[in-house]
Structure 1
């Protein structure tokens, strides 16, 4: 599960290079997001931690690549891009939490090393989002943006105002939602590793939906809440990174 330098640069974006890291932090972004959400984190973590912000196809320098629309092919590609030579931690936000969890389960199924800690942010536990509520990834663009903004917020005004930006962003934004909406829980065994679930007190995702992650965990488990909405981690970055730092020492 090693990677070439070229693939490393495509899939893993590093804010600051570490000369001799002792462990890695893999970060997985939200639907419609990019590695830029997490690259600044390297400034707030020790030099021993190699911060690897995962960049999925279709965005950033990978804008010409076809984004994934199903979970399994996405996991299969990611499995081949992880460097497992050092201890590592996963942090996933929203859609990224689902990817991080399923990737950890895939590592477990393969008998590979597991993350020493799994952070799952702003995402209900698998199976709690009903499959019969309809899909939004194929809605007309303004309606799609309205629904996303109503559910989670964070849709910038520029995206509505500029056609060129929408043409650039909406293909991978829709693709991420298609992954979510076609996803079905894998039915694998609970993961035997420490898990921290995080959420915002003003998010529409309730504490009960976050606590339900415990059914999928066989190791230490806790839920941590922060003031704020679905993107609580932005104004509370220092506090969130402090939690991650505690898991990497």
Structure 2
């Protein structure tokens, strides 16, 4: 059994991954990670600093791994979740904690290609609503429901502060393979995704899907089939290595 820990995109909660649980094989346990300020953690304050949030997630993962024993795991993150997954993997490495078997990043520029200036004009409801519509991942029902829209905008504003606070530092490549996924119609460039190869010393692959930033909604099944295939190959390699 392998756990797939999934980190959400900006403005979202763990619920964005809930439906995936019925799309993965029985040996893969999908674990959506809830961030402070949303869902079951709505009574907590939003995080607004990248390093502080990475530290909190890392401590919670280490606590969860301790309770569950030495079961292997992988990290998956879409958009902001991809950057958080990278930050968590690096933090866990520095802490000497068990590392994920794999890092899966979706719709997320490589850490070295992040542009903090992208968030300088994303202030105020009007700008945030325009950005939500531009990315096309928000159901129309949210825009039509004042309460849901308020929650979404408050969450998005906090998450954009997290993204804007990220400052790239040249760290050693992770000894963890990285698989990146991108949408052909997204505004994230090929070079932004290929640069993920510099973040790993254990192998890099890139997969393209039709669609924009939220191509994962259109291609849930095929994306998860690819994730499972990568993890299965990694697990088989480890079994052979251990046998030798």
TM normalised by structure 1 equals 0.85
Distance 1:68 1:158 in 2: 26
Q: Cα distance 1:133–1:32, how it changes in 2: closer, same or farther (>3 A)? A: closer
Kept in 2, the 8 Å contact 1:70–1:179? The answer is yes
Unaligned runs of 5+ in 2: 233-244
Name the structure 2 match of 1:8.
Answer: none
Shift of 1:247: 2.9
Kept in 2, the 8 Å contact 1:126–1:185? The answer is yes
Name the structure 1 match of 2:25.
Answer: 46
- Structure number with the higher helix fraction is 2
Q: Which runs of 4+ in 1 moved over 4 A?
A: none
Name the structure 2 match of 1:233.
Answer: 216
5 Å-filtered alignment, 1:79-158, equals 79-82=58-61, 83-84=64-65, 85-133=70-118, 135-137=120-122, 139-150=123-134, 152-158=135-141
Q: Cα distance 1:46–1:155, how it changes in 2: closer, same or farther (>3 A)? A: closer
Name the structure 2 match of 1:194.
Answer: 177
* Cα deviations by residue, 1:137-176 (Å, 9 ceiling, x for unpaired): 4x220222113432x2223333333332232222221111
TM normalised by structure 2 equals 0.87
Q: Cα distance 1:189–1:32, how it changes in 2: closer, same or farther (>3 A)? A: same
Give the counterpart of 2:50 among 64, 71, 81: 71
Secondary structure of 2:217's aligned partner: coil
Shift of 1:244: 1.3
Q: Does 1:242 align with 2:221?
A: no
Kept in 2, the 8 Å contact 1:25–1:91? The answer is yes
Secondary structure of 1:127's aligned partner: helix
Distance 2:100 2:142 in 1: 36
Q: Cα distance 1:51–1:131, how it changes in 2: closer, same or farther (>3 A)? A: closer
Distance 2:128 2:46 in 1: 18
Aligned length: 226
Q: Please, what is the CA RMSD of the aligned residues?
A: 1.6
Shift of 1:223: 0.7
Kept in 1, the 8 Å contact 2:128–2:153? The answer is no
Secondary structure of 1:45's aligned partner: coil
Secondary structure of 1:25's aligned partner: strand
Kept in 2, the 8 Å contact 1:24–1:51? The answer is yes
* Cα deviations by residue, 1:173-225 (Å, 9 ceiling, x for unpaired): 11111100111113211111111010010111111110011111111111100
